Amino acid sequence: MAEHQFVGFGFGPIQGGLFAKEAFQSGNFTRIVVAEIDTQLVDAVRANNGSYYVNVAKADGIETLKVDNVELLNPNVAGDKQILLDVLAESTEIATCLPSVDFYESGAENSPVSLIAEGLKNSKAEATIIYTAENNNHAAEILEQAFTEKIGTLSQKQVQFLNTVIGKMSRVVTDPAEIEKSKLATIAPGIKRTFLVEEFNRILVSRTTIGDFRPGIEVFIEKDNLLPFEEAKLFGHNAIHTLLGFIGEACGATSMSELKKDEAVMQIARLAFLDECGRALVKQQANLGDELFTEAGIKDYADDLLERMTNPYLADTVARAGRDAVRKLAVNGRIFGAMQLTLEYGIEPNNMALGAMAGIAVLLQKAKEYNLPDNLRFGDWRKLDDDGIEKIINWLWKDQMHPVRNSINGQHPARAKISNGASSHAQQLIKYVQNAQERLKKLTASMKYAD
């Protein structure tokens, strides 16, 4: 297929700094359209003749890229909605970049799934693939099920829903001082927001199985089975990023780049990555035959990620890395899920436990923000006893200690296995966190960061 048409849903940094950008740079698309309900954003890009700017954080500085010929359409405006439906009927590639899978059906008849279903019902394209970028292991299956409920099966229409593993770090910067200091280009004139994304674009996607269809975005890497790579992202990339955020906050750091200069903190992250969750992932996927799941592959993965996470030009903050602490400290979340995975393979998660203890310290520091119950607001985490730590963890895990149903609304088999083993590991996990408290005290006592 020589000509492609692209439609995106949601115009955030992943859409603007990855999908739409790659579609534009490929030169393979005759039309690039993005559905967005933020009127100010739509108007700003339109006023700039369909051009917008992306700031790319490299290892040695920031490069500003201009992306042209992009149409932003607001589906809540009748005229825009009709144009969007017409383009969807000719689209060959669609990408959903929404805050979560819950937004697929948000907006009634103007919801993403309703619009996609109505547009593809009259499809003139030979085939259409739909990338789902909502950071959910089963986003493609969830969207496909909702789509099917709207429209049924499309007779003689070739449509495939694809999952993605996107390890690209990105931000929307709104602070005028930071925009000025870093000399960031705003998305478009008239709007005080910027897209700041890292240069990395090694994006994994489900393999396209539609006949001789060739995607117009050619840089993505197709995999027959994405689940092992989702595990690596959650229990490698996400877990270590959160660990650094929690420890950084507990130690009084502000930026992730500050941590880069702290040998003690970086050594903890490296050991947690290589000797704990990384070793477990290699054992778990020993029969896969992929280079990532080898000792050398995990080392390269860890070295690359630790460098990128602390890139001063990305200017990530420890608060952002550790935000939403309650979710990240869930029993099957990135921290405790990684600890369970290590225990499954006979590996002690001492460094991951330090991250968990730091997460509890952050919870206590922000007790009001996280609605910590009054009886758990113990004040200074350094004065916590083992009973207090256990009570906080039990509160974090409330209603989570039951087997997880293996369905598209639950988790994939590897995650289900971890969940089913959570009860048996619960006391071990708690004990590791309790044992990590003294170590965290020593680490924070030697901190070099300003208050």
- 92 and 179 both lie in a single domain: yes
Whether pLDDT at 443 is above 70: yes
What's the mean pLDDT when you consider all of the chain?
A: 92
Per DSSP, helices labelled H in 152-262 are: 176-181, 227-232, 239-251, 256-259
- 161 and 242 both lie in a single domain: no
Whether pLDDT at 26 is above 60: yes
Q: Which two tokens stand for residue 339?
A: 């600890």
Q: Which domain holds residue 117?
A: 4-223
- 316 and 191 both lie in a single domain: no
Residue 405 φ then ψ, to 5°: -65, 130
Residue 340 φ then ψ, to 5°: -65, -40
| Of 168, 200, 223, the domain-final residue | 223
Query: Given the DSSP bridges, would you call strands 4-9 and 194-198 parallel, antiparallel or unpaired?
Result: unpaired
How far apart, in Å, are the Cα atoms of 143 and each of 118, 228, 229, 351?
14, 21, 21, 37
Whether pLDDT at 413 is above 90: no
For 166-180, what is the mean pLDDT? 96
**H or E segment to which residue 165 belongs:** strand 164-165
| Of 180, 207, 223, the domain-final residue | 223
- 108 and 191 both lie in a single domain: yes
**Residue located via tokens 């439906």:** 85
pLDDT for residue 425: 86
How does residue 164 score in pLDDT terms, banded at 50, 70 and 90?
very high
In 3D, which of 113, 177, 109, 119 has the Cα closest to residue 315? 177
In a domain, 144, yes or no: yes
What is the Cα–Cα distance from 225 to 236, expressed in whole angstroms? 18
In a domain, 451, yes or no: no
Q: What is the pTM of this model?
A: 0.90
Whether pLDDT at 140 is above 50: yes
Q: Rounded to 5 degrees, what angle do the CA atoms 51, 134, 193 make?
A: 35
- 23 and 123 both lie in a single domain: yes
Share of the chain above pLDDT 70, in %: 92
In this structure, are residues 128 and 96 in contact, taking their beta carbons and an 8 Å threshold? Answer: no
Whether pLDDT at 353 is above 90: yes
In a domain, 64, yes or no: yes
- 218 and 237 both lie in a single domain: no
- The count of structural domains within the chain is 2
For residue 339, give every residue at least 6 positions away whose Cβ sits within 8 Å of its Cβ, in sequence order, or none: 349, 352, 353, 356, 425, 429, 432
For residue 413, give every residue at least 6 positions away whose Cβ sits within 8 Å of its Cβ, in sequence order, or none: 227, 406
Q: Return the higher-pLDDT residue of 420 and 332.
A: 332
In 3D, which of 309, 254, 433 has the Cα closest to residue 361? 433
* CATH number of the domain residue 327 falls in: 1.10.1040.10
* CATH number of the domain residue 215 falls in: 3.40.50.720
Eight-class DSSP state of 224:
S
In a domain, 293, yes or no: yes
In this structure, are residues 10 and 40 in contact, taking their beta carbons and an 8 Å threshold? Answer: no
| Of 208, 223, 238, the domain-final residue | 223
- 296 and 341 both lie in a single domain: yes
**H or E segment to which residue 210 belongs:** none
pLDDT for residue 151: 83
How does residue 411 score in pLDDT terms, banded at 50, 70 and 90?
very low
In a domain, 182, yes or no: yes
How does residue 246 score in pLDDT terms, banded at 50, 70 and 90?
very high
Listing DSSP states for 103-153 in one string gives GGGTTGGGSHHHHHHHHHHT--SSEEEEEE-SS-TTHHHHHHHHHHHHH--
In 3D, which of 191, 194, 195, 197 has the Cα closest to residue 39? 191
pLDDT for residue 247: 98
